[in-house]
Amino acid sequence: MNWGETAADLLVRVRRERPLIHHLTNLVVMNVTANATLAVGAAPVMAHAAEEVAEMARAARAVVLNIGTLDERWVDSMLRAGRAANDAGVPVVLDPVGAGATELRTRTAERLLRELRVAVLRGNAGEIGVLSGVGGRVQGVDSAGAAAGGAALARAAAQRLGVVAAVTGEVDHVSDGRRVAAVRNGHRLLTAVTGTGCMATAVVAAFVAVGSDPLVAAACALAYYGYAAEVAAARAAGPGSFQVSLFDALYGLTPAELAAGVRIDWVEGG
């Protein structure tokens, strides 16, 4: 597989088709994930009211469920949006922010995974470690480690939860339970800005909306995002200017530049 060409093709499709992405997300990242979605070339809408989420989910090409600042009403809305998306064949992308840090977060992520068909689960190693049963630790919204490496973790999560699992970190691993891809793009400045995991999830949703293979789409999205971060870091003085430059790089990268910058390889299968 030519990963560079595949990623470039998916980026062209996002920009041409401008898929609507319905986000039910957290208060910290509401603005930056909408802007990341726009910078990629897709169209964001944030909608949380129980009265409208099913209708909005049906109109979208992907739905993002992010439990970062959850409460009872938002969880009810996420279940309604997820059911409507499942019925309409719209892919659901779940970001289980802080699962493992509190019982509410763990229980809620488990419930969403049990009651909905989730296409892609994108989280850090601690979150995926907890949800997969492999073992992990989470402090607040940050990973504090997992009982297995990223490749084994992604594969186990995919097999046990019936999803494509994307475990991010210095290297990202994406698996459907059989194949595992490693994504080696990224920059450590991503760890110095809040919401960069949530933004990664938003970019994954935009690629999954136009792609036919969720594993391939998620890996290409993470490579694109990571490469944009590399470009942004070269122009930045620190976390503040890095965040601004990240939007510029996501927006400005050409398909040819992306094709040349992608660093993905199969660890298993493929």
User: Which residues contact ligand ATP (rule: CB under 6 A)?
Assistant: 124, 141-143, 168-170, 172, 186-188, 190-191, 196-197, 200, 222, 225-226
198 forms part of the interface with ligand TZP (CB under 6 A): yes
The residue from 195, 211, 226, 261 that contacts ligand TZP (CB under 6 A) is 195
Residue 239 one-letter amino acid: P
Find the part of the chain contacting ligand TZP (CB under 6 A) among 9-17, 24-32, 242-250, 251-259.
24-32
> Is residue 197 at the binding interface for ligand TZP, with CB under 6 A as the rule?
yes
Q: By the 8 A CB rule, do 128 and 121 touch?
A: yes
* Pattern 73-102, ligand TZP, x by CB under 6 A: ------------------------x-----
Rounded to a whole number of angstroms, the minimum distance from the CB of residue 199 to ligand ATP is 8
User: Residue 69 corresponds to which tokens in the numbers above?
Assistant: 């600042």
CB 11 within 8 Å of CB 41 = yes
Instruction: With CB under 6 A as the rule, give the number of residues binding ligand TZP.
Output: 12
Q: For the chain, where are the alpha helices, taking DSSP H only? A: 3-17, 30-40, 53-59, 72-88, 103-115, 125-132, 150-161, 196-210, 214-235, 239-252, 255-261
189 binds, among Mg ion, ligand TZP, ligand ATP, none (CB under 5 to 8 A by kind): none
**Nearer Cβ to ligand ATP, position 60 or 183?**
183
Find the shortest distance in angstroms from Cβ 218 to ligand ATP.
11
- DSSP string covering 164-192: EEEEESSSEEEESSS-EEEE----GGGGG
The answer for residues whose C-beta is within 8 angstroms of residue 118's C-beta and 6 or more apart is: 82, 92, 93, 94, 112, 161, 162, 163
Least Å distance, CB 35 to ligand ATP, is 16
Q: What is the DSSP string of 119-176?
A: SEEEEEHHHHHHHHTS-EEEETTEEEEESS-HHHHHHHHHHHHTSEEEEESSSEEEES
Task: Tell me how far, at minimum, the Cβ of 191 lies from ligand ATP, in Å.
Answer: 5
197/185 Cα distance (integer angstroms): 14
The residue nearest Mg ion at its CB is 197
Query: Stretches 26-34, 103-111, 176-184, 214-222: which one binds ligand TZP (CB under 6 A)?
Result: 26-34
Cβ neighbours around 80 below 10 Å, total = 19
Among the listed residues 4, 100, 195, 197, the single contact to Mg ion using CB under 5 A: 197
> Does residue number 96 form part of the binding site for Mg ion (CB under 5 A)?
no
Question: Please, which residue, 127 or 176, has the CB nearer to ligand TZP?
Answer: 127
Can you tell me whether residue 23 is helix, strand or coil? strand
Q: Is 126 in the site for Mg ion (CB under 5 A)?
A: no
What is residue 113's three-state secondary structure?
helix
How far apart are the C-alpha atoms of 95 and 68, rounded to whole Å?
Answer: 8
For ligand TZP, give the closer residue by CB, 68 or 91: 68
Instruction: Enumerate binding residues for ligand TZP (CB under 6 A).
Output: 26, 28-29, 68-69, 97, 141, 194-198
